[in-house]
A = this chain, B = another copy of it.
């Protein structure tokens, strides 16, 4: 029998103890899986078992944003995912595809996605940084890390270097808007552009409100 969403969530409740936060929790995994399904439906030709495993296990090793080995997290997640999947009914001949998709999903790992599933998973996860959900996650992480919402002296960083560790709003220029250019699929691109436009409108509104 194939693994289901419930199987993955039950496993994560054990495997992921204490590693989740507001931006990386079961709700995030469900949304990434939802994004994978949406993209796969429109793009066609994807192995859904590989995608489901990738979506639910891509953050299995969830290191804080400021951890020194943060760029290793996706490789460690891929290894942990394969170790767990090997003990289940998951098809052995698909383990390599899952491992590659998970390892390549991360921005900081710098691994090029070589398969259709890896490209879809990467897009699905990156869409999580954009739109209303992207902003909610951004500000939650900022609160958790003790960052300021924006630089009151220079919110748009017109007279200073961008610093998204200090100022949440800087993250839009540092990471969010450039992310759109890294989207691999046409479906993902369309969603990403619409979400990025909305984020830009949010920023304009915020700047008006703060005067």
Chain A positions within 8 Å of B, measured between CB atoms, are 21-23, 25-27, 30-31, 34, 131-133, 135-150, 152, 168, 195, 198, 202, 205-206, 209-211
Contact = CB atoms under 8 A, between A and B. Distances in A.
B148 A143 contact: no
B135 A135 contact: yes
B132 A149 contact: no
Nearest to A29: B152
B149 A140 contact: yes
Contacts of A147: 22
Given A34-B211, A142-B143, A198-B205, A27 B136 contact: no
Number of copies: 2
A132 B22 contact: no
Contacts of A205: 131-132, 198
Contact of A206 (B136, B142, B211): B136
Given A22-B142, A23-B143, A135-B139, 4 more contacts: A21-B146, A31-B211, A132-B209, A140-B140
B31 A210 contact: yes
Contact of A148 (B27, B131, B132, B133): B27
B133 A22 contact: no
A17 B147 CA distance: 16
Contacts of A27: 148-150, 152, 210
A32 to B, nearest CB: 11
Given A150-B27, A152-B30, A139 B132 contact: no
- Interface pairs A-B: 3 shortest CB-CB: A140-B143, A143-B143, A139-B139
A201 to B, nearest CB: 9
Contacts of A31: 209-211
A140 B198 CA distance: 20
Most interface-central of A135, A136, A137 (chain B CB within 10 A): A136
A190 to B, nearest CB: 14
Contacts of A132: 202, 205-206, 209
Contacts of A30: 152
